[in-house]
Amino acid sequence: MRAEASPVDFSPSGQSDPRKPEVSPIVGSPSDIAQPAIVPASGEEAEVLHASIKAGSVAQIVVAVIAVVGLIYLLKLVMVTTLTALLLAFILEPLVSGLSRLRLPRPAGALIAVLLTLALAVSLSYFFYQRAVDFATALPQYSGKIRSTLAKLRTETKKIEDSTRSVIAAPKDGPKAVPVEVQEAPALSRVVSQGSEVFLAIGFIPFLVFFMLTWKDHAMDATVRLFTPEHRAKAHRTVGKISSMIRSFIVANALVGLLNAAVSSLVFWWLGIPYFYFIGVISGFVSLVPYLGVFLALLPPLTGAVGGLNTTSVIVIFVTVVGLHVLTMNVLYPKIVGKRLRLNPLAVTLALLFWAWIWGAMGLILAVPIVGATKIICDYVDSLRGLGAWLGD
């Protein structure tokens, strides 16, 4: 017997019979049914999440910067040696290229250039050492003048000290404290260790210069190939511009230093300063140190002229040294290096402070080329162009 289908009863309002259970239709695939509904986060939660991500990124950047600074400090000897060798390689590159044009193999030309540099360095070291010994030997002749000058300063200082002590002295009642002086034993082993490390690093410089000159083309091509093909042209231009900047910087320093040394030596000779040629060369090249050079360049002539020091000599020395420094830093440098090295004074000052703190005296020498190369790299990287604009003038 066949069962008959129950008729569907609709109410007048168009709804199903309330006596029968209501079944919802199944819409969608089984995967849609299994997944729970995703409720979008509110605007406040999104802002908190975005702020947390941003804070985490900033913290990672700070940690990375601290790690890089610490690594640079730990690798001081290696990096200073490498960068010094790189500067010497740029200085000797024109000589090696000239020998290569004469059909001399590049390794032979690099060897000749390095040997000539070593011979020049030894000769200059011996010459300046002898002049320094002569100057130190002649200095006691002016001991009377030095003692009288120091005695006057000591007398004035004593008067100021006594007057200050009489105003702020503590009451004399009660037992007096016994001063205790603690003297630290000289760390001879540490001095010897540091000296041996420095001499070892200096011994590596000729070999580094030789290999940098010999493998120059290979090193440049290998450096460019480290980048993806679409960025190799930009990397090649960046490396070329950095090389041109460093070469211009070295040539400018050499020319300006020779000019300062020549003018200073003539003025010191006219003033009758002993060993004027030795003092003039030191003062002329020390004056090239940005900002601090003007103070350091005054020490050699003032020390040399202490025997016949008078008001006119001091004024002439100050005018000569300060005038040369201002002329070279504000006129000659912009003409020679300005087209390839455009840095604002604040960036240069901060770079000198940072690299002098990290690497000492060598940091003052290497600071300007480093920050100049950094600016060139920033100018060619889209994400760093803001920093390049800040470093520029």
Question: Does residue 299 lie within any of the structural domains?
Answer: yes
From the list 292, 288, 286, 290, the residue with the least C-alpha distance to 348 is 290
Confidence tier at 13 by pLDDT (50, 70, 90): very low
Question: Does residue 94 lie within any of the structural domains?
Answer: yes
Question: Does residue 215 lie within any of the structural domains?
Answer: no
Confidence tier at 232 by pLDDT (50, 70, 90): confident
* Residue where a domain terminates, one of 125, 140, 155: 140
Task: Judge if 347 and 328 occupy the same domain.
Answer: no
Confidence tier at 388 by pLDDT (50, 70, 90): confident
Task: Judge if 315 and 346 occupy the same domain.
Answer: no
Question: Does residue 307 lie within any of the structural domains?
Answer: yes
The predicted structure's pLDDT at residue 141: 62
Phi-psi region of 299 (alpha: psi -120 to 50; beta: other; left: phi over 0): alpha
Task: Judge if 352 and 283 occupy the same domain.
Answer: no
Token pair in block for residue 213: 């000159």
The predicted structure's pLDDT at residue 29: 47
135 against 226, higher pLDDT: 226
Check whether 372 has a pLDDT greater than 50.
Answer: yes
The chain-wide mean pLDDT, for the chain, equals 75
Task: Judge if 327 and 348 occupy the same domain.
Answer: no
From the list 200, 250, 237, 223, the residue with the least C-alpha distance to 86 is 250
Burial (CB count <10 Å: 0-12, 13-18, 19+), residue 267: buried
Amino acid at 9: D
Q: How large is the average pLDDT for residues 219-243?
A: 82
Check whether 167 has a pLDDT greater than 70.
Answer: no
Task: Judge if 324 and 371 occupy the same domain.
Answer: no
Kindly state the percentage of the chain with pLDDT values over 90: 2
Task: Judge if 308 and 366 occupy the same domain.
Answer: no
The predicted structure's pLDDT at residue 116: 92
Task: Judge if 78 and 108 occupy the same domain.
Answer: yes
pTM equals 0.64
Question: Does residue 16 lie within any of the structural domains?
Answer: no
Q: How large is the average pLDDT for residues 186-203?
A: 66
Cα–Cα distance measured from residue 205 to residue 82, given in angstroms and rounded to the nearest whole number: 7
Task: Judge if 266 and 315 occupy the same domain.
Answer: yes
* Residue where a domain terminates, one of 336, 367, 383: 336
Cα–Cα distance measured from residue 335 to residue 299, given in angstroms and rounded to the nearest whole number: 28
* Residue where a domain terminates, one of 140, 165, 194: 140
28 against 147, higher pLDDT: 147
Question: Does residue 32 lie within any of the structural domains?
Answer: no
Confidence tier at 144 by pLDDT (50, 70, 90): low
Handedness of CA 238, 239, 240, 245 (dihedral sign): positive
Task: Judge if 324 and 350 occupy the same domain.
Answer: no
Indicate the angle between helix axes 345-359 and 76-101, nearest 10 degrees.
Answer: 110
Assign 321 to helix, strand or coil: helix
Question: Does residue 193 lie within any of the structural domains?
Answer: no
The predicted structure's pLDDT at residue 334: 65
Q: Which residues pair with 10 in a beta bridge?
A: 16
Handedness of CA 349, 350, 354, 355 (dihedral sign): negative
Task: Judge if 243 and 330 occupy the same domain.
Answer: yes
Q: How many domains does the chain have?
A: 3
Task: Judge if 294 and 253 occupy the same domain.
Answer: yes
Burial (CB count <10 Å: 0-12, 13-18, 19+), residue 354: middle
Residues spanned by the domain of 308: 237-336
Q: pLDDT tens digits for 292-332? A: 778 888 888 877 666 666 677 788 888 888 888 888 777 77
Task: Judge if 90 and 118 occupy the same domain.
Answer: yes
Check whether 263 has a pLDDT greater than 80.
Answer: yes
The predicted structure's pLDDT at residue 24: 46
Question: Does residue 217 lie within any of the structural domains?
Answer: no
